[in-house]
Structure 1
Amino acid sequence: MTNFDSNFAHTVYFWLKNPDNPEDRRAFETSLQTFLDNSQFAKTNFIGIPPEASRDVVDGSFTYSLIVTFESAQAQQNYQDEPAHKLFVDKASALWEKVIVYDSVNYK
């Protein structure tokens, strides 16, 4: 795996419509992994699920999180437009009820 690129981080939180449905989870995970395996622009990625939170400030309401890094904002835009990303959205969007994205760039 490539080292974490601190130029541009794309963080996505997904809330599935049926988070307790194993078939929906499997379909989402498969679609997401297929997309990431075929992305030409994502340098590093992390797929996560919420841990058991022990503090009130931790929001564990999401079903999955995704963190993807890019060498630049342009690379992130290219990722948005690439066929692998569009196919993922087309195949998996019926499985989620909510998505929130947080993009950030290095402050230095």
Structure 2
Amino acid sequence: MNKDKTKNFSHSVLFWLKEPEIATVRAKFESEAKKLIAESRYAHFSHFGVPAGTDRAVVDNSYTYSMIVTFETVADHDAYQTEDAHLHFIKECKELWTKVVIYDVLSL
């Protein structure tokens, strides 16, 4: 790893959709999320999915979707927040969710 760079930055986002049971809502959200991941200039690695359904007291399976995006630097994360692909995703999908929770983490 290049020691001149900020440690890797992980941006984990959990989404709760308003109407997760409606197939067209899910299809739109999934399409837009995959488009964001594909078009982002700053995302280094990404993972998009649904709760695994594991049954343990410490596991929260209440969310509808999870998106994890990593960045090489904090500056890349900050640029991602205002890039066109990210702003388009928010514009197209913000009416679809009731709640979003974000966990930003710097690797040690």
C-alpha distance in 2 between matches for 1:52 and 1:33: 22
* Structure 2: runs of 5+ lacking an equivalent: 1-6
- Counterpart code for 2:57: D
In percent, how many aligned pairs have the same letter? 40
- Counterpart code for 2:36: F
Corresponding residue for 2:74?
Answer: 73
Runs of 4+ residues over 3 Å off in structure 1: none
Q: How many residues are matched?
A: 102
Aligned pairs (5 A) from 1:1-108: 7-107=8-108
C-alpha distance in 1 between matches for 2:48 and 2:67: 5
- Counterpart code for 1:71: E
Let me know the Cα RMSD of the aligned residues.
0.9
TM-score when scaled to structure 2? 0.91
User: Matched residue of 1:11: which SS?
Assistant: strand
User: Matched residue of 1:75: which SS?
Assistant: helix
C-alpha distance in 1 between matches for 2:43 and 2:69: 6
TM-score when scaled to structure 1? 0.91
User: Matched residue of 1:88: which SS?
Assistant: helix
